[in-house]
A and B are shown apart, each in its own frame.
Chain A
Amino acid sequence: MSSNDEYSDEDIEYYDEDEDMEDIDDVGSASEMELDPLNDLNDPTRPQRKIFEVEYESLSQNDVEKLMRADIEYISSIFGVEMDTASLMLRWINWNKEKLIEKYMDNANAVLMASGITQADKAPERAHAGRSPSSSAHQSSIGPRRSSRRIAPEPPKSGKTKILERLTPPIEDGKFICPICFDDTQTETLNMTCFHKFCKSCWHAYVESKVRTEAESWISCMAEDCSLVAPDYFIEGVLKEDKATWDRFQELLVRHFVGAMPNLKYCPYPSCTYTVSCPVSVSKTSLSSTVPIVTCGASAAHKFCFGCHVDSDHRPVICAVAKMWLQKCRDDSETANWIKSNTKECSKCQSTIEKNGGCNHMTCKKCKYEFCWVCMGPWSEHGTSWYNCNRYDEKASVDARDAQSRSRASLERYLHYYNRWANHEQSKKLSVELYAKTEKKMEEMQITSELSWIEVQFMKKAVDEVIKCRTTLMWTYGMAYYLERGNEKELFEDNQRDLERAVEELSELIESPIDPEVIKTLRQKVTDKTVYVQKRNEIVLEDTAKGFMDRRWKWNVPVEGYD
């Protein structure tokens, strides 16, 4: 431990949890507690949920499997069928229990056939397993059968399988030969209740290709025209020596289940297997008053919006407005800039006109209005001073330019918000780059001077906070663009300005040169500022969230959920 610092990393965490309320003087350590995003995000059961946060639960794959199993058990006990049978039926009906019960009561056979448990053209005695739910013979017939010597009954005959039989006699000299690989050394064979028997390695290759390359968990029998679907138990038998594929299969089942549940979402980060449950954000109404930003249990960086795919964190703006704004930026920004710098509108019909040559005498292609490009006044008043306009202050010209500026004002207004939005986005990127450089410098300093690791960490926290706040600021500009003018908007923009100023000050501090002599004072300054910035950010987030809940915000365009 360094002589300069009395706390190790762990000490500080411990210290923070217990004593932060009493110790107000020690800004440094108090801020470290508050700035640690992990404290906030990794514990969904934390008691003091902030107003701009939603209630949600992160579920591991295991947890979701438990939910799935509960549904399967429920159906299994009602229908009196095996778990695997219940599972196939639920998967077929996209996990809609009520609909399944209704359909099953109506016509159980049709459900069993459609979900690949029994076959349409099967002899009744072989299909009894599924049809008489209480049958004890069920288990044995749905599971994989290992019958290396036993001669299986002939498969059901259809037009096409006759060809097959001619070409591939399954039994030669009393020995089973797999009709797929023709390897007569295979001793282990498997078949489902359809009795289409194949060797285990072919089953494996088939299931593996379905699961791995097609990401398919609904796997039907290999025989042509056979509609039986492999139950979990059978797949497990096939993949007994291939744990990776079996794991993937189970993941596919979980994904299918999660996809069918409106209150569940799979974490969108690559190869993450966590699921988030957020029942309060299922309805459209709730999305017009809350921004359900959630984080899965795998990592604090796995942050996403439960309500939309617009951005991983678009607080404080609700999904509908965020989406509108992004769409507008995507459509308009470049075009708007170009129009602004290269065109004028016809003083009469407001058509946008680009002057690409010639004299100042303009004739609008659309309404045939004749005007002067320089003063925008009507050409008829130009008298003899054609082609050389000196009428800038004449009344008609001023009026024409006023009309023009009004129509241009909306463009200007949009660009005002857009440029600030884009500026924060740019600064965010620069902060990351700057931090990479700073970090290197810090590491060097750690080696060459007396500073400890913990002492050079304050920069990271400051940069993280700056990035977080710039994200908030970006979206406040998107929101302000759509806010109706009035006191509410002014208060909103006051909060925005306070946060913006604080963030800019902190950004500047971060950029100041680092020397071992000044690092202590710099550290103090940066840490204090970081705490302040964080507070300002929370104020913006809290007030905006409250405004959504009180329906305080008024929009200048129709917003989904605000009629």
Chain B
Amino acid sequence: MSVSTRRLQKELTDIQKQGTPVGIKLLNADDFQTWHLSLEVLGDTVYQGEVFALKFRFDSSYPISSPAVQFVVDDTWKAPVHPHVYSNGHICASILGNEWSPVLSVISVCVTLQSMLASCKKKELPPGNDRYVKNAPENPKKTRFEYHDDNV
């Protein structure tokens, strides 16, 4: 069994056994390539009442290399309007890029993104959203983000 499969198997067992943190739900994890989770920001935030879906894609070198994570944008789901989330669902977060560490997990990524949304005060698209969305690669891991804002 490959490391990525075993690791994801373990993460899945943990989720099934211990449950997920509040506001995070596993939508589907039918294989070890793609998972979907739903994300809700609880409490008094600008995203009150909104639910988002996250898509995780893993390659065989997970968790040494980071998963490709993005918000689902389709007929059912919308991406949150947030200065670090492009309207096509791509997320600019350092832990998905150069600050990724193999000790992070699907759930810890969700928790980080949840707190990223929770601390947002104003719904705004990232600067240059249209330009990025027009030329963005299908896989957000192929984008080199510059992480300039540590506050949100």
Contacts and interface: CB of A to CB of B under 8 A. Distances in A.
Interface of A: 160, 163-164, 167-168, 179-183, 196, 198, 201-202, 205-206, 209, 222-225
Contacts of B99: 224
A37 B8 CA distance: 61
B65 A209 contact: yes
Contact of A180 (B7, B107, B108): B7
A206 B101 CA distance: 10
A202 B107 CA distance: 20
Residue in B9, B61, B95, B102 whose Cβ sees the most chain A Cβ within 10 Å? B102
Given A180-B3, A181-B3, A224-B104, 19 more contacts: A160-B108, A160-B112, A163-B111, A164-B103, A167-B107, A180-B64, A181-B63, A182-B6, A182-B9, A182-B11, A183-B3, A183-B6, A196-B103, A205-B64, A209-B65, A222-B102, A224-B95, A224-B101, A224-B103
A183 B8 CA distance: 11
A209 B61 contact: yes
16 contacts: A160-B108, A163-B108, A164-B108, A167-B108, A168-B103, A180-B7, A181-B7, A182-B6, A182-B9, A182-B11, A196-B103, A201-B3, A222-B102, A222-B103, A223-B103, A224-B103
A181 B105 contact: no
Contacts of B65: 209
B101 A167 contact: no
Nearest to A155: B103
B14 A206 contact: no
Nearest to B9: A182
A202 to B, nearest CB: 7
Interface string B90-127: 00000100010111110110011000000000000000
Interface of B: 3, 6-7, 9-11, 14, 61, 63-65, 95, 99, 101-105, 107-108, 111-112
A167 B110 CA distance: 12
B112 A163 contact: yes
Contact of B64 (A164, A168, A202): A202
A68 B80 CA distance: 53
A205 B6 CA distance: 15
A198 B99 CA distance: 18
A550 B101 CA distance: 61
Contact of A206 (B9, B10, B102, B105): B102
A178 to B, nearest CB: 9
Contacts of A198: 102
A20 B103 CA distance: 71
B115 to A, nearest CB: 9
Contacts of A205: 3, 61, 64
A219 to B, nearest CB: 12
Contact of A202 (B3, B9, B14, B112): B3
A163 B112 CA distance: 9
B99 to A, nearest CB: 7
Nearest to B14: A167
B11 to A, nearest CB: 8
A206 B3 CA distance: 12
A222 B101 contact: yes
Contacts of B3: 180-181, 183, 201-202, 205
A516 to B, nearest CB: 63
A123 to B, nearest CB: 21
A209 B64 contact: yes
A163 B95 CA distance: 13
A180 B108 CA distance: 13
Contacts of B9: 182
B61 to A, nearest CB: 7
Contacts of B7: 180-182
A180 B3 CA distance: 9
A190 to B, nearest CB: 14
Residue in B9, B108, B112 whose Cβ sees the most chain A Cβ within 10 Å? B108
Contacts of B108: 160, 163-164, 167
Contacts of B101: 222-225
Q: 6 closest A-B pairs (Cβ-Cβ)?
A: A182-B10, A224-B101, A180-B102, A163-B108, A181-B3, A205-B64
Contacts of A225: 101
Contacts of A181: 3, 6-7, 63
Contacts of B63: 180-181
B64 A206 contact: yes
B65 to A, nearest CB: 7
Contacts of A163: 108, 111-112
Nearest to A205: B64
Contacts of B111: 163
Contacts of B103: 164, 168, 179-180, 196, 222-224
Nearest to B106: A167
Residue in A163, A183, A222 whose Cβ sees the most chain B Cβ within 10 Å? A163
Contacts of A223: 101, 103
Contacts of A168: 103, 105
A273 B11 CA distance: 44
Nearest to A222: B102
A203 to B, nearest CB: 10
A538 B102 CA distance: 61
A164 B100 CA distance: 13
Nearest to A164: B103
Nearest to B18: A167
Contacts of A222: 101-103
A334 to B, nearest CB: 33
Contacts of B112: 160, 163
Contacts of B105: 164, 167-168
Contacts of A180: 3, 7, 63-64, 102-103
A167 B63 CA distance: 15
A285 B111 CA distance: 60
A154 to B, nearest CB: 14
A2 to B, nearest CB: 60
A213 to B, nearest CB: 9
A179 B105 CA distance: 10
Contacts of A167: 14, 105, 107-108
A225 B103 CA distance: 11
Contacts of A183: 3, 6
A209 B10 CA distance: 23
